[in-house]
Amino acid sequence: DGGITQSPKYLFRKEGQNVTLSCEQNLNHDAMYWYRQDPGQGLRLIYYSQIVNDFQKGDIAEGYSVSREKKESFPLTVTSAQKNPTAFYLCASSPTVSTRAREQYFGPGTRLTVT
């Protein structure tokens, strides 16, 4: 059963704690992405990776960090420096990054609540 998995579905943390959200894909996709979704604001790109051991900042990277040590995995760490971390986080992947973009496949998302 191929796809993208994100765990957990719901996550609760205290303010000041770092938290890592997992994202795993078995689609053999080169590119992976992290988005944040807030009500009424659509999807905003946090980080993306086109190849293993390489990643680029998106539009709202401050307070977040990522790693891409394996093709299948692209974990996102929400650090204590992120001022408003409560949100719905979506991971996505696509077959390749090229001039003509390919569709992105999304995971089920992790809803993070920080109090």
Partner 1 sequence: GQQVMQIPQYQHVQEGEDFTTYCNSSTTLSNIQWYKQRPGGHPVFLIQLVKSGEVKKQKRLTFQFGEAKKNSSLHITATQTTDVGTYFCAGKKSSNTGKLIFGQGTTLQVKP
Q: Which residues in this chain contact partner 1 in the complex, by CB under 8 A?
A: 31, 35, 40-45, 48, 50, 58-59, 90, 92, 94, 97-101, 103-109
Q: Nearest approach, Cβ of 80 to partner 1 (angstroms)?
A: 27
| Closest by Cα among 10, 8, 37, 23 to 92 | 23
Cβ closest to partner 1, residue 31 vs residue 112: 31
Longest dimension (CA), the chain: 42
Helix (H) / strand (E) containing 3? none
Q: Nearest approach, Cβ of 15 to partner 1 (angstroms)?
A: 26
Q: Nearest approach, Cβ of 91 to partner 1 (angstroms)?
A: 9
Show the 3-state SS of 36-71.
EECCCCCEEEEEEEEECCEEEECCCCCCEEECCCEC
Cβ closest to partner 1, residue 80 vs residue 105: 105
Cβ closest to partner 1, residue 60 vs residue 80: 60
